Amino acid sequence: MTASPAAADPGLTPKPVWIVGAGPGAPDLLTLRAARMIEQADVLVWTDSLVNPQIAALAPEGCEQVRTSTLTLEQVMEVVLDRARAGKTVVRLHDGDPCLYGAIAEQICRLADAGIGVEVVPGLSAYQAAASALQSELTIPGLVQTIVLGRAGGRTGVPEREALERLAALRASLCLYLSARHVDEVQAELLRHYPADTPVAIGYRVSWPDQWLSVVPLAQMAQVSRERSLIRTTLYVVSPALAAPEEARSKLYSASHNHLFRGGA
């Protein structure tokens, strides 16, 4: 934290707090709306463990910057509420898309309790950055049409009905966040459902200058992760689509498939 409490104006209606997605890392993967909000911030409260400092640097000179990696939710909210009550434009900057593992629900609740509204700006999520870096479509017709965004249980846990074995049973394109610490259990669980040669993309700090991204057979997922000591900022994409044959072709663009925008019966 960098500054003392702001002076609250008792007659003031606080502006909404902006919860903004910073995308996966590369500054040019930020949305224009997100960039505009950061550029207008009086106070920028940002997840410095995952957001690129170059993005935080878009904030104007004089903007109060608060890094959250060492703070508790209570400490973060103290600053956010105090500055919002003082009529400041507060931007709470999260990595990726805020709706995914961003813990924004608890922040929105506390803001609502305080009578302060929010505006949310979406961001590109890590799985989208990984798919584009791999030049892959994760929904290949006839092969896989569903993308599951999930995580291994770990300390936070997941509801029983969303246990990894249930997600794996779909054999969809499965994107696993926050799971690298549990990669041995994850691989063992996945192998019960996916064939051992199913391609798994392992993405570390995708879109950052030190990005490491590789596609390995499922049977090697844990070993490769361990060899590279991947624990943080790692995403897995388990998908038959990553090995889709070159000739895979969507019916939508096939000459034999007519639809609303391309004549025919």
Ligand X SMILES: C[S@@+](CC[C@H](N)C(=O)[O-])C[C@H]1O[C@@H](n2cnc3c(N)ncnc32)[C@H](O)[C@@H]1O
69-77, 154-162, 188-196, 227-235 -> range binding ligand X (CB under 6 A): 227-235
Residues in 82-101 that interact with ligand X by CB under 6 A:
95-97, 100-101
- The residue sitting closest to ligand X, measured at its beta carbon, is 96
Does position 225 bind ligand X by CB under 6 A?
Answer: no
Binding ligand X by CB under 6 A: which of 14, 18, 19, 25?
25
Question: What residue ranges in the chain does DSSP mark as E strands?
Answer: 17-21, 43-46, 64-67, 90-94, 118-121, 147-151, 173-177, 199-204, 212-217, 234-238
Residue among 102 and 199 whose Cβ is closer to ligand X: 102
Q: How far is the CB of 181 from ligand X (least distance, A)?
A: 9
Phi, psi of 16 (to 5 degrees): -65, 150
Q: If you count DSSP H runs as helices and E runs as strands, how many of each does the chain have, helices first?
A: 8, 10
Q: Are 31 and 58 in contact (CB under 8 A)?
A: no
Q: How far is the CB of 259 from ligand X (least distance, A)?
A: 32
Any idea which residue has 């249980």 for tokens?
Answer: 153
**Residue 65 binding ligand X, by CB under 6 A:** no
Which residues in 190-209 contact ligand X (CB under 6 A)?
203, 205-207
Tokens for 47?
A: 């997840």
**Residue from 76, 144, 178, 200 that binds ligand X (CB under 6 A)?**
178
What tokens does 95 get? Answer: 């990595």
DSSP H or E run through 37: helix 32-39
Task: Output the smallest distance, CB 111 to ligand X, in A.
Answer: 19
Q: Which residues bind ligand X (CB under 6 A)?
A: 24-25, 50, 95-97, 100-102, 125-126, 129, 177-178, 203, 205-207, 232-235
